[in-house]
Structure 1
Amino acid sequence: MRRRSLLFAAVPAGLVTLAGCGDGKSDSSKASASPSGSASSVPPPKIVEGPLPAITAGQKFGEKPTVAKGSGEPSKDLAVKTVIAGGGRTVAENDFVQAHYLGQIWNSAKVFDNSYDRKSALVLQLAEGGVIDGWRYALTGKKTGSRVLMAVPPTWGYGASGNAQAGIKGTDTLVFVVDLVDAFNSKSSARGKEVPQTDAALPKVGTNTDGNAPSVDIPKSAAPGKLVSAYVLEGDGAALKADQTILCQFRGVVWDGGKTFEQTYGSGRLSQFSLQQMQQVVKGLSQGLTGKKVGSRVLVVVPPDLAYGDTPPSGDVIKKGSTLVFSVDILAAM
């Protein structure tokens, strides 16, 4: 029987989105309408320059903007304007983007959602069916570091059904300001500062940043009896909190024999998982990543009592009492 993926939210690039709404925390008192769902598959829109309402305050990249009410009737086409041109990587369809955004309704200027107040950028994939089509078409080809203003008609937004929870009707044109913070694909790697690996009793992990799987060399010595978590490449991002969800590349091997049991490298996919949910799968991996900085490559050695113990997955290289070794590139978090 084929076991479930260890990192259970592994996402095939181009097929499934990273579902995301805000920062992943539940708050039933607030309506939220992050753009992580498309009404239907529709033909590509014609992209026009306007009309678009003005940004009247918060005009710098990364600042929460204030946007004027739409004037007159919005275009039936997708209106897009690059307000600030970034100089980073060009975003392609099916890439994962990390972005701050504000969304409001054209006719009323009612803000229905924004990530700035949560101080947590959204992470999602620009893939059909995983994000509203307006975002998919408007952001493809833009560069990270850019601020994009768009007006999205219902056809490329939430469709005729709208989004009742957020107060969006099926006839509403939506206005978004999107700050493209970063972008990732299946070739992405951590790019932190190399940290010396001086303990000969621990596995040595490769430091390549070319998107290929890093080597994981297991020493001849016995596996440690306690959890080990150490930087291989130390990034400069925020430290992970125990309630966050991460986007990552990873490689997992067993200590005995050094055989790889699962990895994202070379598979055309990235992995997204909640550190809280990972507590129910491989507790040691969740514990080992908590507190580590975004942008890092981390070695995590998980002893059996914090992994599968005496109940390993069926038909796998992981056996009873296996110590697991992970190399994890923390690309983004929300």
Structure 2
Amino acid sequence: MRRRSILLALPAGLVTLAGCGDDSSDKGKSGKSSPSGDASSAAPSAPPSPKLVEGPLPAITAGGKFGEKPTLAKSSGDPSKDLAVKTVIAGNGATIAENDYLQAHYLGQIWASGKVFDNTFDRKAPILMQLKQGATLEGWRYALAGKKAGSRVEMAIPPAYGFAEQGNPQFGIKASDTMVFVFDVQATFNAKSSAKGKVVAQNDSAVPKVGTNTDGKAPSIEIPDGDAPTKLVAEYVIEGDGPELKATDTVLVQYKGVLWEGGKEFDSTYKRSDLTSFSLQQVVKGWSQGLTGKKVGSRVLVVVPPKLGYGDNPPSGSDIKKDSTLVFTVDILAKS
């Protein structure tokens, strides 16, 4: 079962402007989307903040280590009407806050039947999700906020904080079903997150030079004198040690974009104080080609010639003109 992106909509900025496909490319053979938080499936408005209680919760009978696929016993008795949350394994990473992005594995099971309806462990692909109202299940928001990366968290989400009266028929979740989840939170990211790795020498005077600061502030981009390159440029500024990106991956990034001509900034996650996540299949060719094969944790200079950017059809209302060469610094924070 291949999930659809956790995001409810493409983020602001470049990805929104560049996205040209529907969600079918990320749906996989089953045609099912994730039960995690599609806008059409989740409750139309957020309920009041729930009361958090410690149980009841079904026992984890196998796969008890962090990162292992857990097996849950079938629940007995009635679930709590409140949100039951338990930290099974306490991590020592960064504390998760509202609006953070998480990289995590999870398993979901229906309380009444014990049926497992989804899990990322078998797919060997953790999810990337933003802990934000309207971007994911309300139960996840409240259960995971305040926990630390590296933690295993078990929760039982009553319908009001899951899919409410709509349920999720694709996954056999009825309107009355309480859902049980086990989350292994691998990492958390926020607007101050930056690349981590080895600084790479920038010796080519014909391409822009990018700042190497990793303090969460936007790096500088110095445009050289001379003509813009006619071919795609994609070079490490900081080389991370994470896995290489595939052309089908979803990535989480910080980025800033400027025009080669004049160096004017036209887009930046740093200015919005918000990261962005997208599929490499949903962006301009210069991004998909330039980032494919690069390592997670890296900062990459990407110079996109018009034929791999917007060409003679720039986004309406933007500062990008026809046949503009675009220059980006991209910090690759995570992938799924």
- Normalising by structure 1, we get a TM-score of 0.89
Pair 1:201–1:9, CA change in 2 (3 A): closer
Pair 1:36–1:81, CA change in 2 (3 A): farther
Q: Select the residue among 268, 274, 296 that pairs with 2:273.
A: 268
Pair 1:115–1:315, CA change in 2 (3 A): closer
CA shift for structure 1 position 310:
3.2
Pair 1:91–1:9, CA change in 2 (3 A): farther
Structure 1 residue 131 and structure 2 residue 133: aligned?
no
In 2: Cα distance, 1:124 partner to 1:172 partner: 23
For 1:319, the aligned partner's letter is K
1:174 is matched with: 179
CA-to-partner distance for each residue in 1:111-165, whole Å, 9 max, x for gaps?
A: 0000111111111111122211111100000000100011111121111221111
2:16 is matched with: 8
1:289 is matched with: 291
CA-to-partner distance for each residue in 1:83-127, whole Å, 9 max, x for gaps?
A: 111111100112111111000011221000001111111111111
RMSD after superposition:
2.1
For 2:82, the aligned partner's letter is D
CA contact (8 A) 2:17 2:315 kept: no
Determine helix, strand or coil for the equivalent of 2:258. strand
In 2: Cα distance, 1:159 partner to 1:314 partner: 38
For 1:173, the aligned partner's letter is T
CA contact (8 A) 1:31 1:112 kept: no
1:90 is matched with: 95
2:312 is matched with: 310
- The unaligned stretches of length 5 or more in structure 2 are 1-11
Q: For 1:149-164, what aligned pairs fall within 5 Å after superposition?
A: 149-164=154-169
Which segment drifts farther, 264-273 or 304-313? Answer: 304-313
2:332 is matched with: 330
Pair 1:310–1:130, CA change in 2 (3 A): closer
1:16 is matched with: none
CA shift for structure 1 position 31:
7.1
1:191 is matched with: 196
In 2: Cα distance, 1:225 partner to 1:101 partner: 44
Q: Percent identity?
A: 65
1:59 is matched with: 64
In 1: Cα distance, 2:305 partner to 2:217 partner: 26
Determine helix, strand or coil for the equivalent of 1:82. strand
CA-to-partner distance for each residue in 1:29-87, whole Å, 9 max, x for gaps?
A: 66742245532311111111111111111111111111111121111111111011111
CA contact (8 A) 2:15 2:282 kept: no
1:239 is matched with: 244
Q: Select the residue among 190, 200, 204 that pairs with 2:205.
A: 200
CA contact (8 A) 2:13 2:268 kept: no
Q: For 1:39-54, what aligned pairs fall within 5 Å after superposition?
A: 39=43, 40-54=45-59
Determine helix, strand or coil for the equivalent of 1:266. helix
CA shift for structure 1 position 322:
2.2
CA shift for structure 1 position 318:
2.8
CA-to-partner distance for each residue in 1:157-186, whole Å, 9 max, x for gaps?
A: 111221111111111111100011111222
For 1:150, the aligned partner's letter is M
- Normalising by structure 2, we get a TM-score of 0.88
CA contact (8 A) 2:196 2:214 kept: yes
CA contact (8 A) 1:212 1:266 kept: no
Q: How many residues align?
A: 317
Determine helix, strand or coil for the equivalent of 2:300. strand
In 2: Cα distance, 1:173 partner to 1:254 partner: 51
CA contact (8 A) 1:31 1:166 kept: no
